[in-house]
Amino acid sequence: MAASAQEKELAQLIVTSLNLEVSADEIDPEAALYGEGLGLDSIDILELSLAISKTYGVQLKSDDADNNKIFSSLRNLNDHIQQHRGQ
């Protein structure tokens, strides 16, 4: 499934805040963000968490037991943000 408008916006935030070489529309919404796939590491996730908190007002804590699922792909991350937005 192609990326939604919300997913494209989040992909742009990821590329900009992490200074990635890829362009936002090259990020497969279902590919892994960690390790293989986009190749992010724990420091990137911290950086991204803060960028997301500033942009969407959603808290993402590094000790959250669900992090593997939340950060597993652009799609899952976007779903999590949309569910918790404005809470």
Partner 1 sequence: MKPVYLAGRGLACALGQDMQGSLDALQSGGVAPAAFRLPGEMGGSFPYYAIAFQQKDWNERARDLVQRVAREAGAQHMRSGVLFVATSSFDIGAVEQGAAQMDYDAFSRKIAAWLDWSGPVYVINTACTSSLNALIAAHALLSAGEEEEALVLGVELGNRLTLGGFAALQLLSQHGCKPFGQHRDGLVLGEAVAALKLSTREPALWQMLGGANVVDGSQPTGASAAAVASMYQRALEASGLAADAIDLVKVQAAGSPGNDAIEAQGLRAAFPVMPHLVSLKTALGHTMGASGAAEIALLTACLEQGIWPHYADPVDGELGVSLAEHMPQSVRHVMATILGFGGSHATVVLGRA
Partner 2 sequence: MKTFAISGRFVETPPPADWREHLARMLGAKPRRIGTWAELGLYGALRCMADAGEKMLPPDVQVWLGSRRGTYAATDTVLGQMRDDLPMPLAFLQTQPSQLLALLAAQLQWQGHACFVAGGEPGALLRLAAAQAGKDGILLGWLDEMSGGETRWLRLRPCTEMDGGYIAATAETLFTAQISHLRLSGMGLETRRAGQSALVQE
Binding site for partner 2 (CB under 8 A): 17-21, 43-44, 46-47, 50-51, 54
- Retrieve residue 8's tokens: 């494209």
Ranges within 41-80 binding partner 1 (CB under 8 A): 43, 46, 49-50, 53-54, 57-59, 61-63
Distances (CA, A) of 74 to 11, 16, 79: 7, 15, 9
Residue placing its CB nearer to partner 1 in the complex, 22 or 50: 50
- d(C-alpha 15, C-alpha 69), whole Å: 20
Residue placing its CB nearer to partner 1 in the complex, 31 or 50: 50
- d(C-alpha 20, C-alpha 40), whole Å: 10
Rounded to a whole number of angstroms, the minimum distance from the CB of residue 50 to partner 2 is 6
Residue placing its CB nearer to partner 2 in the complex, 11 or 75: 11
Structural contact between residues 14 and 27, judged by C-beta atoms closer than 8 angstroms:
yes
